[in-house]
């Protein structure tokens, strides 16, 4: 797999057509399982073909149980300068419900170790709205984030995807379904916590201390081009999207045979790009701007201004000087508001 990834990097080095790379993200599966030799091989291939900005954000996704002291020593000696850790909860009952492999103790310990090993730029994921998560424990989860000095938090409402083991267990009555009212209440607690602790709520699910916004994800939300490498990886060059084979052996075989791993390319039409701008813009604290919408054409601006009126009247959207942002109450309905403003062809 590592050899195939390196080969794909080499073969797609011209895709971005840009001078410098501002972020590299080791994610997808479980990259923290890679040993130093494999990480070094991938990194050496990247820097051979791309110019990396001196201030680039280099993130590695990791599970708490993978981040041992020895593993962190290896990571600290390389280019990784940011860790994204899938904690989900600091309580074992929640982790058992979500079928996570790590324990609450491992979650706390790996964060403490990461700080000890010199990683100050850390983001972690938390999940709220699970049947097992009490209001008190959700508040304790957030307090632990503050106490550990974590500068970035991604917090997501639990969603149960069809076809997952959790979905099957809920369908058979073996697990309780997540209650919607609890998720709304815990999201309100989260927003209160952010205001008190100085975390900027810069995207619906993302909170950061000043100067710690995620460079990588912010690039996605801003419509920047990106190159995805590996099975299932997606790429975007400003006018089209591509995605790779979602099957490890087939991906490796394609690379070995010097075939393209890209299985489909979607050319984006103006209304697709407009809809994505509305979707991401409304999720961001900076909102959407009439000046950007008019670039799509006057008909787009007229459509948007008409579609957004009901949400302004309900108090879900605030408009000032041509900028439209979600109010606190509107953040609970971000996707619905955005979809109401889409141009459908």
pLDDT by position in tens, the chain (length 345): 999 999 999 999 999 987 689 999 999 778 888 889 999 999 999 999 999 999 999 999 999 999 999 999 999 999 999 999 999 999 999 999 888 999 999 999 999 999 999 999 999 999 999 999 999 999 999 999 999 999 999 999 988 777 777 778 778 887 777 778 899 999 999 999 999 999 999 999 999 999 999 999 999 999 999 999 999 999 999 899 999 999 999 999 999 999 999 999 999 999 999 999 999 999 999 999 999 999 999 999 999 999 999 999 999 999 999 999 999 999 999 999 999 999 997
Say how far apart CA 85 and CA 310 lie, in whole Å: 39
**How many other β-carbons are positioned within 10 Å of the β-carbon of residue 45?**
20
- E strands, 149-239, are 152-157, 200-203, 206-208, 234-236
| pLDDT for 18 | 74
Give yes or no for a contact between 63 and 30, defined as CB atoms under 8 angstroms apart: yes
| pLDDT for 149 | 96
| pLDDT for 56 | 96
Closest CA to 111 of 39, 56, 62: 62
Say how far apart CA 201 and CA 334 lie, in whole Å: 14
Residue-range domains of the chain with CATH:
19-221 (3.30.750.200), 271-340 (1.10.10.920)
Token pair for 297: 């054409």
Beta-carbon-side half-sphere exposure of residue 184 (alpha carbons within 13 Å): 10
Write the DSSP assignment of 266-282 as a string of letters.
Answer: EEPPHHHHHHHHHHHHH
Residue 35 burial by CB count (10 A; 0-12/13-18/19+): exposed, middle or buried? exposed
Say how far apart CA 196 and CA 181 lie, in whole Å: 23
**How many other β-carbons are positioned within 10 Å of the β-carbon of residue 281?**
23
| pLDDT for 33 | 86
Say how far apart CA 187 and CA 155 lie, in whole Å: 9
| pLDDT for 261 | 96
Closest CA to 127 of 153, 102, 158, 149: 158
| pLDDT for 43 | 97
Give residue 198's region: left, alpha or beta (phi > 0; psi -120 to 50): left
Say how far apart CA 42 and CA 289 lie, in whole Å: 40
Q: Are strands 152-157 and 288-289 parallel, antiparallel or unpaired?
A: unpaired
- Model-level pTM? 0.93
Give yes or no for a contact between 64 and 87, defined as CB atoms under 8 angstroms apart: yes
| pLDDT for 252 | 97
């Amino acid at each position: 797999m590592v050899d195939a990834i390196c080969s794909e990097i080499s073969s797609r080095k011209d895709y971005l057509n840009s001078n410098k790379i501002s972020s590299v993200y080791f994610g997808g599966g479980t990259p923290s399982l890679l040993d130093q030799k494999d990480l070094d091989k991938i990194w050496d291939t990247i820097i051979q073909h791309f110019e990396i900005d001196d201030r680039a954000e280099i993130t590695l996704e990791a599970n708490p149980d993978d981040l041992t002291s020895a593993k962190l020593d290896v990571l600290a000696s390389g280019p990784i300068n940011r860790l994204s850790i899938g904690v989900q909860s600091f309580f074992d009952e929640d982790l058992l419900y979500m079928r996570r492999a790590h324990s609450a103790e491992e979650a706390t310990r790996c964060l403490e170790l990461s700080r000890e090993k010199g990683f100050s730029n850390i983001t972690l994921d938390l999940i709220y709205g699970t049947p097992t998560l009490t209001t008190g424990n959700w508040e304790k989860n957030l307090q632990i984030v503050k106490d550990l000095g974590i500068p970035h938090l991604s917090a997501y409402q639990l969603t149960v995807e069809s076809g997952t083991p959790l979905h099957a267990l809920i369908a058979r009555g073996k697990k309780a379904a997540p209650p919607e009212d609890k998720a709304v209440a815990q999201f309100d607690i989260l927003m209160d916590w952010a205001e008190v602790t100085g975390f900027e709520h810069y995207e619906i699910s993302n909170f950061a201390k000043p100067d710690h916004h995620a460079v990588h994800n912010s690039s996605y939300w801003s419509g920047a081009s990106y190159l995805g490498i590996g099975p299932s990886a997606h790429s975007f060059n400003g006018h089209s999207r591509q995605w790779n084979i979602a099957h490890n052996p087939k991906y490796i075989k394609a690379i070995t045979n010097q075939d393209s791993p890209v299985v489909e390319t979607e050319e984006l039409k103006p209304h697709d790009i407009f809809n994505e701008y509305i979707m991401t813009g409304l999720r961001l604290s900076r909102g959407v701007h009439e000046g950007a919408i008019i670039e799509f054409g006057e008909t787009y601006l007229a459509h948007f201004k008409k579609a957004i009126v009901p949400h302004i009247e309900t108090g879900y959207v605030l408009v000032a000087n041509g900028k439209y942002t979600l109010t606190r109450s509107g953040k609970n309905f971000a996707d619905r508001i955005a979809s109401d403003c889409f141009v459908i062809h």
